[in-house]
Amino acid sequence: MNRRDIIKNLTVIPFAGSFLPFTSSASPAGEEEVLSAGPLAIGPNIYESIGVEPVINCRGTFTIIGGSVERPEVIAAMKAAAGFFVQYDELATGIGRRLAEVTGAEWGMVSAGCAAGLKHVTAACVTGGNPELLIRIPDLSGFEKNEVIIPRHSRNAYDHAIRNIGVKLITVDTAEEMEKAISSKTAMIYIMAYGDSDPGQPLSLEVISKLAKPKNIPVLVDAAAEVLTIPNVHLNRGATVVAYSGGKAICGPQCAGLLLGNKDLLMSAWQASSPHHGPGRDNKVGKEEMLGMLAAVEAWVTRDHKAEWKTWLSYLDTIAKQVTKINGVTTSVLEPTELSNRSPVLTITWDPDKLNITGDEVAEDFARNKPRIAVGSGNENGKTSINITTGQMQPGNDAIVADRVYKILTQKRSPRSTAMKPAAVTIGGHWDVTVEFFSGKSTHKIYIEQDGNWIQGTHTSDFSVQEIGGMIEGDQVKMRSRIHPPGDGITYLFSGTATNDSISGSIYLGEYQNAKFTAKRSGYKNERKRIVIPGGPPLAT
């Protein structure tokens, strides 16, 4: 799974293990069971002590569930670093020099996460290390360089970090467009490190580097979820700087990032980072995380990666042997070779009409009930499935997961009914919608066409208009719309109770949590009167 897939899955996760307040299987539908919270208890039940239920991670290095588990070397380094004071510029220099020795890159830097690293490098590219320019960000008026070029295939939710500097983004589709877009205003070119950036592609890193280097334009590669390659594959292919997440494959601090590449540019990036004042002060990285990240990189070169892979496969073997005892259940293992999110994945597949449950429903059950397990799910060609990703599973998780999957798939269930309760109200027409967020309100509009149980139409949100579709059973309405500006996406899942003149309920917003809505039928102020069309131009204004 690459970073683009992770972005897509941000809106899929709610159906493949949503992470809202824990609900016990014994609790009435819709009621949240809040675990009793008391004083923080340092130990194996630290989360439960404050009323939070942990999750077994069979999903991958998603930040929303903690990324990765830090290596023992990382924890030891952070603990040792915590007991002393140190001058941060001296520390950054020592770490930069050591990262260069370990990785073979010219220089290295630790940031407060990969996204912060992208922000700091962008600041370095527009300022050139000039602090008078730095403190003016994001007002780039008068800057010599204030544009960043991004191939369309690399637009993503994480390029907010680049936009935060105030640059103008220029999106291109071809090498010819990129060549034309490059100008004296170009500060940087940014790309994601997979897929359409791979060798042989029309806008590969090699092609981009060939265009950029003669004009001294830095190329920043976002390799957040990749395994670390030594010597670095992206730098060897022409990147100026490559950025990694510390809390993913490298298993460093979750709130750290790793930058490798050109020393001069990274020195300017460090200048744009805390503890220095300016636009990066809000991205503070502590001495503990800095040394923890260095420890993770040093551990990377000594880790037995082949042994880790065998362990991960053994986890999947345990689960597969258990679930294939069930008639009609099959399994397959994917051993990915790409650099991003590289760990084996087990797919467990069955006919939902025979076991009377879908993969989405299994994943949702796992998310809501103890032991909580985050898994992926899918539906294709009449079959349904769940996916078990191993990279962050811990010893003993495999037995727990195998038992849980076996139990849920062997439960006796009544055949699934496809019949829908007839609609009890008619909701076709125009609606004025008030949306209440945590601390603000918006006014939206929805136009609905109703055909029995099915509804479709348009949803006008704050800045866009998109299609909306859904269903109504009795007086219960469910609708879905999605806005999709470049690099981003927000899914609105409306669930409410309707009368002929009102609809009210909640909106599930995925990673952005929930909102409330109330809808009233639109009123029209226009007079009903005949319209006369003139036969020619007016004789007077």
Q: Where are the domains of the chain?
A: 3-19+55-64+310-410, 72-300, 429-521
Q: 36 pLDDT band (50/70/90 cuts)? A: low
Q: What are the CA-CA distances from residue 452 to residues 477, 495, 497 (Å)?
A: 12, 18, 16
Q: Which residue has the tokens 């109504």?
A: 472
* 56 pLDDT above the threshold of 60: yes
> What pairs with residue 352 in β-bridges?
none
Measured between alpha carbons, how far is 104 from 70 in angstroms, rounded to an integer?
23
pLDDT attached to residue 528: 83
Q: What are the tens digits of pLDDT across the range 367-411?
A: 999 999 999 999 999 999 999 999 999 999 999 999 999 999 999
Measured between alpha carbons, how far is 56 from 50 in angstroms, rounded to an integer?
18
Domain 72-300 classified CATH 3.40.640.10?
yes
CB-count burial class (<10 Å; 0-12, 13-18, 19+) for 429: middle
* 28 pLDDT above the threshold of 70: no
Does the N-terminal peptide bond of residue 253 adopt cis geometry, omega within 30 degrees of 0?
A: no
**Phi and psi torsions of 209, nearest 5°:** -60, -40
Measured between alpha carbons, how far is 389 from 312 in angstroms, rounded to an integer?
9
Question: CATH topology for 3-19+55-64+310-410?
Answer: Aspartate Aminotransferase, domain 1 (3.90.1150)
Q: Are strands 168-172 and 147-151 parallel, antiparallel or unpaired?
A: parallel
Share of the chain above pLDDT 90, in %: 85
Measured between alpha carbons, how far is 75 from 164 in angstroms, rounded to an integer?
32
- Number of other CB atoms surrounding residue 218 within 10 Å: 21
Q: 30 pLDDT band (50/70/90 cuts)? A: very low
**Token pair in block for residue 159:** 């390029």
**Token pair in block for residue 335:** 């051993």
Q: What are the tens digits of pLDDT across the range 264-284?
A: 999 999 999 999 999 999 999
Q: 195 pLDDT band (50/70/90 cuts)? A: confident
Query: 326 CB contacts (<8 Å, ≥6 apart)?
Result: 350, 355, 406, 409, 410
**3-19+55-64+310-410 against 72-300: fold identical:** no
Measured between alpha carbons, how far is 510 from 181 in angstroms, rounded to an integer?
36
CB contact at 8 A, 429 and 448: yes
Q: 77 pLDDT band (50/70/90 cuts)? A: very high
> Which DSSP category does 230 fall into?
S
* 20 pLDDT above the threshold of 50: no
Q: Which of 151-160, 471-480, 527-536 has the lowest mean pLDDT?
A: 527-536
Number of H helices and E strands in the chain, helices first, is 15, 21
Provide CATH code, domain 429-521.
Answer: 2.40.128.120
pLDDT attached to residue 23: 41
- Number of other CB atoms surrounding residue 136 within 10 Å: 18
Q: Which residue has the tokens 């290390």?
A: 129
